[in-house]
Structure 1
Amino acid sequence: MSSTALAAPTTERNVSKTIHGNGAVAQPALKAERVNVVGRALPGGVTNTTPGGGLMPVQTVPRLQSGVTRDFIAKQSPTTNTLSLLQMTPGAVVGSADPLGLADHTSISVRGMNTSEIGMIFEGMPAGDPLYGIADTSEWADTENIGQVDIAQGSSDITAPSYFAVGGQITETLRNPSHRMGGELGLSGGTHATNKDFMRLDTGEIGHSGVYAFVSGSYTRNNNWRGPGTNRRYHVDAKAMKEWGLGNRIAAVFSWNTVDEAPTRYISLSQFETQGRSYNYTGSYTPGSTSYYRLFQYQRSSMMISAPSHFRLSRNLTADLTPYYQWMSGAVPSATTLSPGNIYYGNQYAGAIGFPTLVNGRAPVVANSGSNSYTAGFNGNLTLHTGINTLRVGYWYGNLTKSSLYDYYGVSRSGQILDGTINTQSGDVLATRNFHFMQQTHAFYVEDTLALLQDRLHITGGFREVLVQRSGTNELPGATYRWGQNGAEPLPRLEVSYKINPQHQIFFNAMTSFHAPASDVPYFDAFSQATGRISTRGRNDLKDEYAISEEIGYRYNGLFTASVGFFNYNFTNRQISSSVYVDGALTTNFINAGGQTTRGAQVEIGLRPWHHFSPYVSGQYLHATIDNNLAVGNDLLPTRGKTAIMTPEFTASAGVSYDDGRFFGNAYFNYVDSQYATFMNDESIPAYKTGNVTIGYRAKPVGFLRSPQIQANFINIGDANYLSGIYTARPNARTTRGIYGTSIAGAAPSYYLGGGFAAVVSVSTGF
């Protein structure tokens, strides 16, 4: 465990200062304020300085923004992930199928905007799936290494390297390497045969170079909390950093992850009501079955590298530069059956196929959704400070290439996936998709800030232009081979902040943001495997989601910390992405829901430790309506004026943390109102309540062991049985007559079944 840790929250405003242990203040820099109090920390980086037990770091940016620090993160289960850490913040609705936070299939919606509409930034680089916007936050970093996570609920920073951030921004940073050689060891075990082994080594200063670094590795394993299956995760984090002069800093960050996961089954409302937790994949194989769990177990690997740097070029000029690289590779198998003699590859008859197994005239196979993606980019800006004026100019470039092959593998009579793909009679790999996607993103941004009234009033005007160039090739016979689409979005913004005094701040912002279609599927021709006819014609005229938003807020930072704000959005081309199975393969369903109006208010209050207690409360009221009727086929569903999906009217959280340096613990409660899963508002999931509890004890140093501790986390303490989020949204669940008289059949949405009770006991120590 490091003896030097981030002890105060990270915030942004027009000046930056570093306060050292001796009280000295470094020379002011520009724009981003990072207040780093360097001093002795408790195990896990806990400092007990953040209000609300780590749930309310002080914010000064002119937008509604929340966050969590080590004071909260260190007391959560070591198996949890970034999205789960944010579930107490105002308006955040976390949909998870796993109480331990190990599953990649965790989603978040904020003010009704889902994961694919929120910018994800990890150490200065875009994170998560670079095209689909899936967070995959269990792949980012081990919980023990996360320094701070911020969530801007409705806007993003002008410099953010993201084209998803219509619904806000999540920013995660790692802890800094310790200036002292040492490390941390953590061993955890719990229900569902859970165990996690973690070790981190800090180098201290390497020679006399001024470079400090850490590297960590972990192994995590557990059985699914419901149904069969075992999950394994292997992870490595590393960070090196050098600081010199007045504000110069360069870092190198590396994160590698691989998972072998047996997912649990998503569930419909009727299945939840009749079968509940017993509805899942089967643990044994019956020849021809498409519900055997091993036929859905997938593997995925990823790597992220970034080098966020800050340079002081002169007294008034600074530069921020972040080159980055991301690689992702994986395959998601799904069980299905094919009918021999009636199979097409694109528009060509596949001919006689020698399937290894036939059951009642059908061939059991696995449809394998495989992909490889490579992303490289650079984000940089120059900031000039002259008197009362601060000017920032920057550029972001990103290059993405992705190859997707959805092919098939045979299944033996014992349920084993056989080596070797299924081929057509002519020797081609039988596939429903075989395409290559390419994307280049250019973003130019400029903003200017005036500091008036003795630096109490800040007025910032900014403009960002984002150009997205997409193209691709489709290898399926009969498909349009090559396509291309270019788009550009102008994004002006205005921010105003006024500090009445050091304790009171009011702010206002007016933002524009956009979200490019979060899928490659609609761009490519797709064919019916049974007839060879085109089932979906690829399009190159897909429209970006665009939003105009306003926020007004007030903050107080004194005896306690409080934030209250009101927000308003107007959307056009509202995008909804959900997952469905086509020809047995998992794919993304894309819905353009047209216009939407969203209004609401949020509040959060946190208290710094008072007699070692730190309480916290937050809440949000949300009113979101659909502005138009939804096109379905050649008709329209009468959805105008109905409540938007994924928009619970009320959400609330409350909790209290206790920490006297030896004994510590916390208890938190979370409430989420009911929310619609269809645009016709004919199906919704019920409101739910969950609670988590932590207790722990820190011992005195024993030899070279620095403050060993034991911690127990109890998740979903009441074992609530609930649906935690929407996995597949639908236009309507019941058959409905359209505006023009067509009978439009309904389809059942599917949901995340919230994780049941789990307990994890952890023993850790610094050395």
Structure 2
Amino acid sequence: MNRLSYLWCSTLVSALVLSPWIQALAESADTQAGKQTPHLQGAKSRSTPTNAIQQMAPETIYAFGHGSTRQMTSLSRVQMERSVPGTSPLKVLNQLPGVMYQSADPFGAYEWSSSLYMRGFSQGQLGFTLDGVPLGDQQFNNSNGLSITRAISSDNIGRTDVSQGAGALDVASTNNLGGAVQFYSADPSHKRETTVEQTFGSNSTFRTFVRVNSGDLNKTGTRFYASYARTSLNLWKGSGYNYSDQVNFKIVQPLHGESSIKAFFDWSSLQQYDYQNMSLNYLKNIGPNLSNFYPDYGAAYAAAEGHYPASYGSASDPKDASYYAGTANRTDYLGGLTIDQYFGHQVEWKTTLYGHGNGGYSTWVSPYTPSPNGAPLSTRVQNPNILRGGFLSAVTYKTGRNTFNSGVWYEIGQFTESRAFAEAPLLGQGTLGNLTNGYPSNIFATAWNERFLTNTFQFHMQDSYRILHNLTVQAGFRSMLVVEKNDVLEQNPKYNAGNIAAQGSLTSSDAFLPQVSVNWRFLPRNELFFDVSHNMRAYPEDGYGTNASITPWSANQAQFNATAKGLRPETDWVYEGGYRYTSSFVSALLSLYRVNFSNRLQLISTGPIINPITAVQNVGGVTSNGVEGSVTLHPINGLTIFNSVSYNHSTYDQNVATSSGLERIKGKLIPNYPSFMYKGVIAYNYRNFGAHLDGNYISRRYLTYMNDEHVPGYFLANFGISYTFPKLSVFHDVKASFDIYNLFNKTYVATTGTVGNVFTGDDQNFLMGAPRQMFGSIRASF
């Protein structure tokens, strides 16, 4: 907490240093209240490219980036409210063409299982920001950010912009080889009101959300909101739960014209129990409801001694299906201050300062590591912590037909992580109990303790040139430098299978990562777009023997030394082109793309899930070709029909040489991502009544690089209805809703590749999806 306190004290001091100038600007707003400076055209087109569509068709579920030079899709607050309150914003993206989101629970709250793919790129290869603040790679063991569910309550998100092909040059991310997802928090309302929302449903789900809006506090428009969310639900199979608490605060101070100062703060805390990882063998011989033994300590103890339940008799590896429990505790603090200043009609200067602190631990009761007291199992404890801060600053200048934009992003971060083992009690002398109640005190060994220090610098420059009134060309580049170094502060090779944990430094750098894109409105409502970009991803960070991310530091020292010399950051060239048609009746999109992916890193895992032998290496290139088509229809007032299809063909360009020999993966499809997807939504609103039915089909997904094992495709449907009462006594906008997830109770495989993928054969690397779930919600404001 000392580091977190220091971080927030620094942020507060920065705000106090700026306060005299902020006060002067706020006072100037009084004298210029009647003067409005319009947004710069260039800046407006970047931040809200879909306003024209939303004005023509306010019930549109998806806006297809009208006027953008890239494939852009925007989801409004209306679409998010068609999901159960508290649903992960990433899961809402699942309706978009080319996007696949998977999770073992209906909310997308269980972070270990949260998996987003876009055009074959995993979430670790995409960019994510909230109000411009970088959120890192969204992996469970995130070293440079935090998940969007912990960064902000879903109720406070105003809109989400998704670039399926390549993110904009000014996106603050070192991960985005592919697209980018940019979340924007809603501003406080001008009206004073309090909103209360209650959700309940399957698996004892109980979620409470309260938000207080101050309304305008003075004639300058100063306003804020504060919210609290509490979510509690049990696992749908086995025992355990998922708890989270979250506080959001945002304040807005308008300045002269449309200039403003905005500050945001988030605190979140979660405690989660794990679902059991599955293999095809487990699925066939034990069944989809295989789960951890918690709270039956006796059964876990017996299994660690080799006495398994009768149903495990045909399992290929019963020991690796016999865990007491796995848990995760995380606490995050995130804050940012943005000054957005307009100077006349031509210049905008926007600067954001931010800080983030994270602390917590994860546990996994292992039958592979006995305790010194003779117990056949122990508790493995992992302890990740993040401390990072940075700033973004960019200037936009409009002159004639040109809109120039240039800026910098700098971040310094420290990521620490350790792995220790805690003693388990002998049978009859106690139990392990609830592992989320506090950090275990009976530690008997520290396998390793590592510290990563990272410096990130990014510069971008671009120009949007309007050649004709209907033809725009945007061109620019970004430069990126990421220096990463780790130190192993403590280790015990005995608990690392005799290996020495890797330490060393790696640098990712490229001074010229260009992007060129074009938009041509060749007829009214018709436009063509084309984009080409070159991208680079910095190396992910994680500790020795971890399997949550594709990091070079997961290997032992010998493997790291052998691969580091020839290791290169992942890079790619992304080409996309497409056609848009936009009218009040129909919005249509057709997009084709090609990706030439070089130096692809793959996590090669062997051995049991609790202590795999991992190595990361470049496996050469991957070539992806794909097509996406989407249509949104508005045949009558209140009715929206959305359909999309996507096809992706991503294959490895060459075979891979490993210590086991040559793996012939050339021409094989990449694992975990389907070749074909269909998405459909029917939504109808009549006065105060609303209903929607959505369906998703994804084709088979391969589990291995050799494509010899796969999980079958499936179709999943969800249904929801709602009714809004205009006024009930002192309450207004009272909304009641009822939702059914997995309407037809389909048994299906959700997340795959949870611990990496093997070249061939069966491995415990996927999670089952939740069965039919039902939820009811009621919301009221006063």
**Alignment of 1:274 onto 2:289:** no
Residue 513 of structure 2 aligns with which residue? Answer: 491
Equivalent residue of 1:701, what SS?
strand
Alignment-derived partner of residue 379 in structure 2: 366
User: 1:330 and 1:578 mapped to 2: Cα distance?
Assistant: 27
- For 1:393, give the aligned amino acid: S
Worse-superposed segment, 690-699 or 541-550: 541-550
Match of 2:643 in 1: 617
Shift of 1:656: 0.8
Q: Which residue of 2 aligns with 1:313?
A: 343
Q: Letter of the aligned partner of 2:378 in structure 1?
A: V
Q: In the superposition, relative to structure 1, how do residues 35 and 480 fare at CA in structure 2: closer, same or farther (>3 Å)?
A: closer
Query: 1:703 maps to what in 2?
Result: 729
**Structure-2 residue corresponding to 1:385:** 398
Which residue is equivalent to 1:245? 256
1:338-391 deviations in Å (ceiling 9; x for gaps): 667xxxxxxxxxxxxxx56413xx4x2111111111111111111111111222
Question: Is the CA contact (8 Å cut-off) linking 2:64 and 2:71 kept in structure 1?
Answer: no
Offset at 1:481?
A: 9.1
Distance 1:496 1:583, change over 3 A: closer
Tell me if structure 1 keeps the 8 A contact 2:406–2:461: yes
Letter matched to residue 503 of structure 1: R
SS at match of 1:420: coil
1:672 aligns with 2:704: no
Do the aligned residues in 1 keep the contact of 2:136 with 2:145 (CA within 8 Å)? yes
* Cα deviation digits, residues 279-314 of structure 1 (max 9, x gap): 111131123656777641221111221223321134
1:70-469 to 2 correspondence within 5 Å?
70-104=77-111, 105-128=113-136, 131=142, 136-283=147-294, 284-286=296-298, 287=301, 289=303, 295-337=325-367, 355=371, 357-359=373-375, 362=376, 364-412=377-425, 413=427, 414-416=430-432, 419-423=440-444, 430-454=445-469, 456-469=470-483
The residue identity in structure 1 corresponding to 2:490 is L
Cα distance, 1:557–1:580 mapped onto 2, change above 3 Å:
farther
Q: Could you state the TM-score of these two structures normalised by the residue count of structure 2?
A: 0.84
Deviates more, 1:83-92 or 1:655-664: 655-664
Whether the 8 Å CA contact 2:209–2:227 is kept in 1: the answer is yes
Is the 2:604–2:758 Cα contact (8 Å) retained in structure 1? no
For residues 127 and 581 of structure 1, do their structure 2 counterparts lie closer, same or farther at Cα, with a shift above 3 Å needed? Answer: farther
Counterpart in 2 of 1:604?
A: 630
Counterpart of 1:233, as a letter, is S
Where 1:85 maps in the other structure, the secondary structure is: helix
Query: Which piece of structure 1 moves more, 94-103 or 77-86?
Result: 94-103
Do structure 1's residue 520 and structure 2's residue 535 form an aligned pair? no
Distance 2:574 2:659 in 1: 31
Cα 1:248–1:504, aligned 2, differ >3 Å: closer, same or farther?
same
**Is the CA contact 2:552–2:616 (under 8 Å) kept in the aligned structure 1?**
no
Bigger shift: 292-301 or 196-205? 292-301
Output the amino acid matched with 2:396.
T
Kindly provide the amino acid, as one letter, of the partner of residue 730 in structure 1. Answer: N
The 1-side partners of 2:350 and 2:707 are apart by 47
Q: Which stretches in structure 1 are left out of the alignment for 5+ residues?
A: 1-21, 39-46, 341-354, 424-429, 528-532, 735-746
Whether contact under 8 Å (1:51, 1:614) holds in the other structure is: no
Amino acid at match of 1:717: L
TM-superposed deviation, 1:134? 8.4
Q: Once the 2 structures are TM-superposed, how far is the Cα of residue 57 of structure 1 from its aligned partner? A: 5.6
What secondary structure, in the 3-state scheme, does the structure 2 residue paired with 1:373 have? strand
Q: How does 1:734-749 map to 2 (within 5 A)?
A: 734=761, 748=763
Tell me: CA distance 1:567–1:560, structure 2 relative to 1, closer, same or farther (3 Å).
Answer: same
Q: Indicate conservation of the 8 Å contact 1:107/1:135, yes or no.
A: no
Report the Cα distance in structure 1 between the residues aligned to 2:677 and 2:356, rounded to whole angstroms.
35
Which amino acid in 2 is paired with 1:725?
T
2:451, 2:101 → 1: CA distance? 32
User: Against the structure 1 CA distance between its residues 67 and 752, is the aligned structure 2 distance closer, same or farther, given a 3 Å change threshold?
Assistant: farther
1:755 to 754, 761, 770: 770
Asked if the contact 1:580–1:589 (Cα under 8 Å) also holds between the matched residues in 2, the reply is no
Per the alignment, do residues 128 and 75 of structure 1 end up closer, same or farther by CA in structure 2, a change over 3 Å counting? same
Q: Give the alignment partner of residue 632 of structure 1, picking from 651, 658, 679.
A: 658
1:702 deviates by 1.7
8 Å Cα contact 2:719/2:739 also seen in 1 = yes
Q: Which whole-Å CA distance do the structure 2 matches of 1:394 and 1:473 have between them? A: 32
Residue 624 to residue 481, structure 1, CA distance change in 2 (3 Å):
closer
**Structure-2 change in CA distance of 1:580 and 1:164 (3 Å):** farther
C-alpha deviation, 1:707, in angstroms: 2.1
Pairwise CA distance, 1:199? 0.4
Indicate which of 667, 670, 684 corresponds to 1:644: 670
* C-alpha contact 2:40 2:348 (8 A) present in aligned 1: no
Q: Percent identity?
A: 22
Deviation at 1:661, TM superposition (A): 2.9
Q: Residue 503 of structure 1: CA displacement?
A: 1.3
Query: What letter is aligned with 2:417?
Result: S
1:579–1:523 Cα change, 3 Å: closer
CA RMSD of aligned residues (A): 2.8
Between 1:589-598 and 1:50-59, the stretch displaced more is 50-59
Give the distance between the partners of 1:205 and 1:577, measured in 2 at CA: 53
Shift of 1:589: 6.1
Counterpart in 2 of 1:743? none
CA offsets, 1:566-615, max 9 Å, x none? 00000111134588888946998645332000001111111347231111
Shift of 1:208: 3.6
With over 3 angstroms needed to count, the CA separation of the structure-2 counterparts of 1:579 and 1:665, relative to structure 1, is farther
Query: Secondary structure at 1:97's aligned position in 2?
Result: coil
Give the direction of change, closer, same or farther, for the CA distance of 1:551–1:535 in structure 2 (3 Å limit). closer
Q: 1:534 to 1:384 in 2, by over 3 A?
A: closer
Q: Letter of the aligned partner of 2:43 in structure 1?
A: K
Q: How many residues align?
A: 696
Choose from 527, 530, 533 the match for 1:511.
533
Question: Which whole-Å deviations, capped at 9, do the CAs of 1:520-556 have from their partners, x for residues lacking one?
Answer: 34555866xxxxx968658644321100011111111
Question: 1:328, 1:560 → 2: CA distance?
Answer: 45
Change (3 A) 1:622 1:575: same
SS in 2 for 1:83: helix
CA shift at 1:48, angstroms?
10
In the alignment, the residues of structure 2 paired with residue 633 and residue 714 of structure 1 have an alpha-carbon distance, to the nearest angstrom, of 49
Match of 2:581 among 549, 556, 559: 556
**With structure 1 as the length reference, what TM-score do the two structures score?**
0.85
Q: Which amino acid aligns with 1:211?
A: T
Cα displacement string for residues 127-150 of structure 1 (whole angstroms, at most 9, x for unaligned residues): 155755787332132222111112
Q: CA deviation at 1:482?
A: 6.2
In structure 2, the partner of 1:721 is 747
Supply the AA of the counterpart residue of 2:180.
Answer: Q
**Structure ranking higher in helix proportion:** 2
Contact 1:524 / 1:537 at 8 angstroms: preserved in 2?
Answer: no
State the secondary structure of the residue aligned to 2:365.
Answer: strand
Cα drift, residue 415 of structure 1: 2.7
SS of aligned partner of 1:628: coil
Instruction: Judge conservation of contact 1:221–1:230 (CA < 8 Å) in 2.
Output: yes
Distance 1:503 1:620 in 2: 23
Structure 1 residue 483, shift from structure 2 partner: 2.9
Structure 1 residues 459-496: Cα deviation after superposition (integer angstroms, max 9, x where no partner): 11111110011112112369689632323123111111
Change (3 A) 1:585 1:321: farther
